[in-house]
Structure 1
Amino acid sequence: MIPPLPDSMLRQLGRTEGDADTLQVFVRDQDTRRLLLLRALLDAAEAAPADVLAPHALDRLRQDWALLETAERADRTAVRTVLLHPLVGPWAQRCLRGLSGPGSATGPGPGPELRSDLDHLSALAAAAAIRAGIPFTTRLTAHGGLLPLPTLGALRTASEASVPVDVVFSGAEVTMRERGQESISAHTQPDGTTGSADPRWLPVLALPAVQSGIGPVPLDDVDPYRTDGRGLHRHGLSAATHIDDHERKAWAESWAGVAPLLAIGGEHRLTETAVLLRCLVPLGPPPGSGPTGESAAHCSGTRREAFGAVLSSKPATPAYFASTLVHELQHTKLAALAALVPLHHEGPEARHFAPWRSDPRPFDGLLQGAYSHIALADYWQRFALCARRVTHRDLAWAEHARCREQVGAVLPVLAGSAALTREGRVLVNEMITLYHRLDDCPPPSGHLARAEAYVATAQVIWQQRNGSHRP
């Protein structure tokens, strides 16, 4: 049994805050879950019948695992950087599903999807060995035109088909050779970044840390498991995208302004970003936003199985970049909290009105949305009170008023639920306290009136579409 979180931590979290000690509880728990998941993957492989995992494939998996163990003995921190990378989570879960499924219909051995997933373990082991400084020679398999070395970068191959690539690492140099092509070398730096004069090498861009003493934030546009490719448009998200040098520069320039803007929201906004954010995954422009994605509209999301990852289209300004992090890291916090302690016993039925969605939401989705939006209301209010330019102040008040009215429309449903656990009740009560605290500095009346009209209209439209559900 996991001991209950102290009420002091729950109250912090209910205010959408959380000091470093509180957030580290989540980090330790999620890291432990990841390592257990990887161990479960190894156990599932050992137990898999031959029609699911052929002996030669199991032998290769054991070799990869042995390389991981060798690398960990040399540099545990370096290897954990790879194994705890957020996008390893979706990969490991896919492997477990594949190993638990039926064998290939075409004969003994894994099917094409599982075979590709298991090939990725070889790439993970190679990346871990590179980070740990362990020399090796191996043969990896590229799929779909890319050979990723997770957290480091990827080789763009000449063929879109599955092709072998010989990889040698010695010193600080990685040499890769696709069959029938000239070899390519990439150099590793002490900070874990890579570089090459050959355009076939696509390095993961490292964005500077928002606080001193922590590592950079990778902008990962090459990992094949950054999205699963299903259901993104339904949730208002575009597909993951590869970014060119011009777009990388734009991301880096926007990121450079994020830290001071996060600080406007309070020291806790910098802390949660420093502790929880482990990688950014660039998405394409939001559906319907046009080909450039330069408007203020953008899309973002998180994945529970990818703790520490934020998926986002390129925000139009550093202010929207900061608010995206505030929004999405609340989902990260609340999901991690719910993994530790149950917050409610409501069922999964989607029947609730949420002003930020056109479809009915389950209770858990309502709680998640209210939690992230009240954090945004708090952030934009602080931004408005500090803004010097009238245009910036007006934008912030408009965002604050809209988010606050949206939360106000659903808080009674959350507070009235008899299915909240004790921890859930503490959390929701603190959300209500924060909601009323925002009244201390109300927005200009015009912004408030427009926000009220916005939420009222959203509810009318929702009821017309979903009349059989409860608003």
Structure 2
Amino acid sequence: MLPYHRLTPGSLTGLACGEGDPDTLTLLLAAERSRRLLLLRMLDDATELGPGWDLLSEAQRRAPAVVDELLTHPQTGMWLATALRRLRGTAARDEPPLWVVLGHFSALAAVAGLRAEIDFTIQVPVRHGRVVLPALGCAVVPAAEPWTTATVRVEAGNAVVETAGATVAVPPTPGSAGPGWHPLRRLTVGPARQRLEVALDDVDPYRTYPQPTEPRPLSEEAAGRWRQVLERAWDVLRQEQPGTAEAMRRGVLSLTPTPARERFRPRSVTSGDAFGGIEASDPDDAVQLAVTLVHEFQHTKLGGLLHLTPLLADDSDGRTELWYAPWRDDPRPLEGLLQGIYAFVGITRFWRTHRRSTGAHTTMADFEFALWRTHLSRAIEQVHRHPRLTPLGGVLLDTLRDHCARWLEEPVPGEQLALARLCADDHVARWRAHHLRPPAQAVDEAVHAWLAGASAPPASLAAEPGVVPDPAARWLDSLAMLVRHGIAATDDDRPAPEEAEKAAARVTGALAGDALLALGDPAAAHHAYVTDLTTDRARPGAWSGLGQALTATAEAPEAARLLRHRPEQARAVHESLWHTTGAPPDPVRLATWLAGRQGPPGAIR
């Protein structure tokens, strides 16, 4: 019998804590190699892979380490998963033909053959004038058609890519450029015994997740910036989280750069099919990139663990539960929430360490630590002891919960703590306003009661609301973004409350009231939110902001309490009254009336 991949008790303990040493990553990577061999066999059973199969087999006999390295390359895993899904499904309009996807195997085999010093000739796909050789680079050739083929020829170690209109020589030294050839750059940062080596992949179509994209080679200037910021980010991780950094040396293999995003809103992605691969937008600074690496490395580790053992039992009743995820705009299934919890344990731990480091901007670090520990605690408490958790899943969540409980006891300066609580409370209230819906009959009864002059809303309105995902929910973190801008601002560029519109313009999705709240003027924020709610129905986030503003000014405490805990009721009844009467009711008066017969807030789902 073939042996099983097994994690040691020490490895399981480390992963359950959200950590994991280099030996654990070595075990996970070995399991990924086996998984990809199985997927490759599945692909071969499902279709004819052609001469590439014989070439790869010969390369494995001559240089098994070469083939192992190619198999564990993150983009190989992504290609395998994409090819198998294409065989089982249908292609989108903008996807390449199936033969192009399957032909990528021939390009993979060509690289293996070249590195194993085999002479061969093989046909490979051309994608919009680019011939990709995985983990090596890509050739640029003239092409009249978006999808065609080229010939890769290797003789005595010399490789060329040939088409009817051009011949491109592949430089013998990996990483070297040449006429018509873009190499896959490899970045090496850190001192000799703490060195991180990653591919800076801008050419492989399977470097982006979840959909492939065509090669977009970086300029030398852009690649140089990435090298510099990665060097500084790696210094932060080496000095502040040496255990995590050491494990990353085994588990972070590829970095795919994408264009910069809005400040404080980077985009990063990993895929369970691409172990070790990280897609990340151009960061604001080195600390942001360090956080991104920690974040996505957490996903990498959990994805590797999930390939070996489940943390959740199958959903036997087929009903997908949706939950509040403080780091997302949309409701998440339990599987997605668990991924997020694991990732943000790493982020919270990073900020906990960073705020104690010499020279750190401690005001920002204190705020981030306080914010994420609060978000994390709320996410865990929703699903702690969920019946779908397997024994290992239960241990993992219990362990992370214990860590979070200890973090919640750590002191944080009062100003940063208050801002973190404000942003955490605002996010959950905005989420509720968007995604929770009271029973329709209860809303109708409340409208009739209001119009009839009743002293309190009907008892039916206190029923548990349902989760109805709102596709318009975006940028629910706008208040936190404005707070970050305020913390990072100097005296010269910090806007005054009368410049709220200017401050809000910095953050996509922010309202004027949000900016006023972040600038410390809740009274003005109150009026701005009321204006929004009586002129524009499409601003559910204003209900949450109004609740925060009322709390800060100690006005209408009943309305403030309802809007902090049950804003979905105010939104639903307000919109129905507006539709029924043709005019919006006063938001504060309505919220005060709705608070007249309310118990404690329901669970977040």
The alignment's TM-score, normalised by the length of structure 2, stands at 0.66
Counterparts of 1:267 and 1:38, CA distance in 2: 36
Alignment check: 8 A CA contact 1:123 1:149 kept: yes
Alignment check: 8 A CA contact 1:138 1:166 kept: yes
1:269 aligns with 2:244: yes
Deviations 1:115-140 (A, max 9, x none): 11122111111111122222333343
Alignment check: 8 A CA contact 1:240 1:284 kept: no
Q: 2:388 maps to which residue?
A: 419
The number of residues matched between the two structures is: 430
1:86 aligns with 2:66: no
Q: Within 5 Å, which residues of 2 pair with 1:9-408? A: 9-45=11-47, 58=48, 61-100=49-88, 113-159=97-143, 161-181=146-166, 183-189=167-173, 193-198=174-179, 200-208=180-188, 212=193, 216-227=197-208, 241-286=216-261, 289=262, 295-345=263-313, 347=315, 349-389=320-360, 392-408=361-377
Secondary structure of the 1:386 match is: coil
Alignment check: 8 A CA contact 2:51 2:122 kept: no
Counterparts of 2:8 and 2:210, CA distance in 1: 39
2:206 aligned partner, one-letter code: Y
Please report the RMSD computed on the Cα atoms of aligned residues, expressed in angstroms.
Answer: 2.7
Secondary structure of the 1:185 match is: strand
Deviations 1:91-128 (A, max 9, x none): 2233334445699xxxxxxx962111122111111111
Secondary structure of the 1:38 match is: helix
Secondary structure of the 1:340 match is: coil
Q: 1:106 maps to which residue?
A: none
Counterparts of 1:9 and 1:216, CA distance in 2: 23
Change (3 A) 1:431 1:460: same
Counterparts of 2:58 and 2:170, CA distance in 1: 22
Alignment check: 8 A CA contact 2:311 2:393 kept: yes
| Structure possessing the higher radius of gyration over alpha carbons | 2
Counterparts of 2:393 and 2:201, CA distance in 1: 34
Greater mean alpha carbon deviation, residues 68-77 or residues 208-217: 208-217
Greater mean alpha carbon deviation, residues 147-156 or residues 394-403: 394-403
Alignment check: 8 A CA contact 1:4 1:341 kept: no
Change (3 A) 1:43 1:5: same
Q: 2:378 maps to which residue?
A: 409
What's the offset of the Cα at 1:213?
8.6
Residue ranges of structure 2 left out of the alignment (5+ in a row): 437-465, 468-602
2:128 aligned partner, one-letter code: G
Secondary structure of the 2:278 match is: strand
2:161 aligned partner, one-letter code: M
What's the offset of the Cα at 1:427?
0.8
Secondary structure of the 2:307 match is: helix
Alignment check: 8 A CA contact 2:209 2:271 kept: no
Change (3 A) 1:101 1:254: closer
Secondary structure of the 2:415 match is: helix
2:201 aligned partner, one-letter code: D
Change (3 A) 1:10 1:227: same
Counterparts of 2:68 and 2:123, CA distance in 1: 23
Q: 2:579 maps to which residue?
A: none
Residue of 388, 400, 403 corresponding to 1:431: 400
Counterparts of 1:133 and 1:65, CA distance in 2: 16
Deviations 1:196-219 (A, max 9, x none): 331x21111101165749883111
Change (3 A) 1:203 1:39: same
What's the offset of the Cα at 1:321?
1.2
Secondary structure of the 2:332 match is: coil
Alignment check: 8 A CA contact 1:207 1:219 kept: yes
Change (3 A) 1:215 1:82: farther
What's the offset of the Cα at 1:374?
1.7
What's the offset of the Cα at 1:3?
8.0
Alignment check: 8 A CA contact 1:124 1:150 kept: yes
What's the offset of the Cα at 1:171?
4.6
Change (3 A) 1:384 1:326: same
Alignment check: 8 A CA contact 1:300 1:328 kept: yes
What's the offset of the Cα at 1:436?
2.7
Counterparts of 2:420 and 2:152, CA distance in 1: 57
Deviations 1:316-375 (A, max 9, x none): 212111111100111111122122222122647252111111211111211111111121
Counterparts of 2:125 and 2:343, CA distance in 1: 41
Counterparts of 2:271 and 2:19, CA distance in 1: 21
Counterparts of 1:330 and 1:436, CA distance in 2: 20
Alignment check: 8 A CA contact 1:148 1:154 kept: yes
1:176 aligned partner, one-letter code: V
1:91 aligned partner, one-letter code: W
1:377 aligned partner, one-letter code: T
Alignment check: 8 A CA contact 2:106 2:124 kept: yes
2:286 aligned partner, one-letter code: P
The alignment's TM-score, normalised by the length of structure 1, stands at 0.84
Secondary structure of the 1:385 match is: coil
Change (3 A) 1:426 1:464: same
What's the offset of the Cα at 1:380?
1.1
Change (3 A) 1:214 1:377: closer
1:351 aligned partner, one-letter code: L
Deviations 1:299-327 (A, max 9, x none): 00111111111111111212111111100
Alignment check: 8 A CA contact 1:241 1:282 kept: no
Counterparts of 1:3 and 1:185, CA distance in 2: 41
1:224 aligned partner, one-letter code: P
Q: 2:503 maps to which residue?
A: none
Counterparts of 1:62 and 1:213, CA distance in 2: 42
Counterparts of 2:364 and 2:242, CA distance in 1: 22
Alignment check: 8 A CA contact 2:194 2:246 kept: no
Change (3 A) 1:163 1:44: closer
Counterparts of 1:139 and 1:213, CA distance in 2: 41
What's the offset of the Cα at 1:384?
1.1
Q: 1:51 maps to which residue?
A: none
Secondary structure of the 2:203 match is: coil
Deviations 1:235-265 (A, max 9, x none): xxx9985422221111111111232211234
Change (3 A) 1:442 1:243: farther
Deviations 1:397-448 (A, max 9, x none): 2221221111011121232313222111211121122113324643222111
